[in-house]
């Protein structure tokens, strides 16, 4: 739906229904739109879904249970959910050229859990059952089952470390992936900040992992997945790629050949709401060989699928198959270049010296700030980013020394080269006018800060000018 008056009246009526039950929620919903409209949304994992995607989430599909798979449900009356799930999977297979797609995961972490357990089911449980001549785990004796359990959660996983840009679900100790697997991590080259494939290979040879996880949430560069597969094959590991951050760049054919994970990985996980611009949720793409194990995602680690969200995934994937999505995805990458150049020409330090994907990682230590101070000062000026560790971060994962900045959301609003250059300029203005604070005892603080007089107002005004030229949901009026 692009007709602005119709869109406005639809949302006005919807909000008045909500208001009649809980006015505070209606008000928060209105306010959220205003806040999103009036700030520079630069969180690399966020975007703005289309009204069609948003509306698809607000229907009675929310009320239906549908545990199981298409045509094989544990509940009656799932014929329409079957349609929804089939259409979502069909679009995903076509868009990514994947043999198999599973649209049920509720989030990225769920998608990764489904992938982990399906790899274990395929690589460990299958051979184990064969050994005992059993068809499924129910046929195992209590003793066999005990041994399987100890084998099952006792495997080796090699993933990218959090401070090099990996995700917490890639074997980070506080996450279940770091507890269910024996994990080791690969980092990046200490000089260049770039992934060193020879070092990954050496680590894989030494550690002999069952699973190698590639993919990242804060690494500003592309990955050569053909090389990662070569390494995995050499040690007989399963290659799992988490493309949550850059799925939109894969869908939009910005990442092709060796940079497209789908032809190279055994299993690929993603979220659907980041650069892919869909509803909040997850998805798994797999080879035919792994498909039966992936299909056991529910009930293995998932509850009933969120049918309304699967429906919105189908709508978003249909959008991503349109030619305009390729233009958008290329814009995301080009704008990240403009942003990086904008920082570099003004003397800022970027991890790896730049970017070739959708994000830059700004090292704020040269401003004498922690990531936490920088994030807060920027927010005061209406610039929404998130603090992020940088490699070998002296400030740890809470305070950090970096700010992660992504282009997917503002590219959706139509920002281009000049606007992203200006964004870099405004961010530098904030950071160079922020002084680190002290604790109440007078010691240096990693959290408090003082932003120079008038800076927030100046930056707000300059941003407002750009944001007004590129309205969010043009014509949508909630008044």
Measure the CA–CA gap between 3 and 8, rounded to whole angstroms.
9
Measure the CA–CA gap between 140 and 143, rounded to whole angstroms.
8
> Between 215 and 436, whose beta carbon lies closer to ligand DSN?
215
CB of residue 169 to ligand DSN, shortest distance in Å: 8
CB of residue 174 to ligand DSN, shortest distance in Å: 13
> Between 404 and 413, whose beta carbon lies closer to ligand DSN?
404
Residues 349-388, mask of contacts with ligand DSN (x by CB under 6 A):
----------------------------------------
> Between 85 and 163, whose beta carbon lies closer to ligand DSN?
163
For every residue of 431-459, DSSP letters joined together read HHTEEEEE-TTSSEEEEEEEEPTTHHHHH
Measure the CA–CA gap between 273 and 281, rounded to whole angstroms.
7
- DSSP classification of residue 118: H
CB of residue 175 to ligand DSN, shortest distance in Å: 10
- Residues 148-167 touching ligand DSN, rule: CB under 6 A, are 167
Measure the CA–CA gap between 79 and 348, rounded to whole angstroms.
56
Q: Containing H/E element for 41?
A: strand 40-41
- Name the residue among 43, 25, 5 with its Cα closest to residue 217: 43
Using DSSP's 3-state secondary structure scheme, residue 388 falls into: strand
> Between 121 and 218, whose beta carbon lies closer to ligand DSN?
218
CB of residue 219 to ligand DSN, shortest distance in Å: 11
Determine if the peptide bond prior to 299 is cis (ω within 30°): yes
CB of residue 388 to ligand DSN, shortest distance in Å: 9
> Between 68 and 371, whose beta carbon lies closer to ligand DSN?
371
> Between 45 and 365, whose beta carbon lies closer to ligand DSN?
45
Report which residue's Cβ sits closest to ligand DSN: 45
Assess contact for 86 and 92: CB atoms under 8 A. no
Applying CB under 6 A, which of residues 42, 45, 250, 331 lies at the interface with ligand DSN? 45
CB of residue 144 to ligand DSN, shortest distance in Å: 37
> Between 100 and 116, whose beta carbon lies closer to ligand DSN?
116
Measure the CA–CA gap between 61 and 65, rounded to whole angstroms.
9
Total chain residues near ligand DSN (CB under 6 A): 4
Applying CB under 6 A, which of residues 108, 187, 215, 261 lies at the interface with ligand DSN? 108
- Residues 196-235 touching ligand DSN, rule: CB under 6 A, are 217
Assess contact for 438 and 444: CB atoms under 8 A. yes
Assess contact for 297 and 284: CB atoms under 8 A. yes
Residues that bind ligand DSN (CB under 6 A): 45, 108, 167, 217
């Amino acid at each position: 739906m692009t007709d602005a008056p119709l869109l406005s009246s639809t949302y006005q009526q919807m909000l008045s229904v909500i208001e009649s039950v809980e006015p505070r929620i209606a008000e928060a919903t209105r306010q959220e739109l205003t806040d999103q409209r009036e700030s520079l949304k630069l969180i690399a994992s966020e975007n703005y879904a289309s009204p069609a995607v948003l509306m698809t989430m607000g229907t009675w599909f929310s009320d239906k249970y549908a545990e199981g798979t298409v045509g094989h449900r544990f509940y009656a009356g799932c014929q329409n959910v079957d349609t929804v799930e089939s259409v979502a999977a069909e679009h995903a297979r076509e868009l990514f050229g994947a043999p198999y797609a599973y649209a049920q995961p509720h989030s990225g972490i769920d998608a990764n859990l489904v992938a982990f357990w399906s790899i274990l089911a395929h690589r460990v449980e299958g051979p184990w059952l064969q050994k005992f001549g059993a068809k499924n785990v129910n046929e195992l004796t209590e003793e066999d089952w005990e041994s399987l359990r100890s084998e099952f959660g006792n495997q080796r996983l090699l993933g990218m470390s959090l401070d090099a840009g990996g995700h917490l679900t890639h074997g980070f100790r506080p996450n279940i992936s770091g507890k269910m697997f024996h994990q080791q991590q690969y980092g990046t080259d200490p000089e260049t900040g770039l992934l060193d494939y020879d070092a990954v290979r050496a680590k894989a040879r030494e550690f002999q992992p069952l699973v190698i996880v590639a993919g990242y949430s804060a690494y500003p560069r592309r990955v050569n997945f053909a090389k990662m597969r070569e390494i995995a094959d050499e040690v007989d590991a399963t290659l799992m790629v988490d493309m949550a951050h850059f799925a939109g760049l894969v869908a939009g054919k910005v990442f092709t050949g060796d940079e497209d994970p789908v032809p190279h990985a055994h299993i690929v996980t993603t979220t659907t709401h980041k650069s892919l611009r869909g509803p909040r949720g997850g998805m798994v793409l797999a080879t035919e060989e792994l498909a039966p194990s992936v299909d056991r995602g529910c009930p293995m680690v998932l509850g009933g699928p969120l049918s309304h969200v699967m429906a919105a995934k189908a709508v978003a994937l249909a959008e991503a198959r349109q030619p305009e999505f390729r233009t958008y995805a290329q814009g995301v990458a080009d704008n990240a270049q403009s942003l990086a150049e904008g920082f570099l020409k003004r003397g800022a330090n970027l991890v790896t010296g730049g970017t070739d994907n959708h994000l830059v990682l700004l090292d704020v230590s040269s401003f004498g700030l922690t990531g936490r101070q920088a994030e807060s000062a920027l927010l005061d000026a209406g610039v929404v980013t998130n603090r992020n560790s940088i490699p070998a971060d002296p400030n740890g994962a809470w305070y950090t020394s970096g700010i992660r900045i992504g282009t997917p959301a503002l590219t959706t609003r139509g920002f281009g080269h000049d606007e992203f250059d200006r964004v870099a300029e405004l961010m530098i203005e904030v950071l160079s006018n922020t002084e680190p604070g002290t604790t109440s005892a007078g010691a240096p603080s990693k959290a408090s800060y003082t932003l120079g007089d008038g800076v927030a107002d100046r930056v707000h005004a300059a941003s407002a000018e750009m944001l007004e030229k590129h309205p969010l949901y043009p014509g949508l009026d909630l008044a």
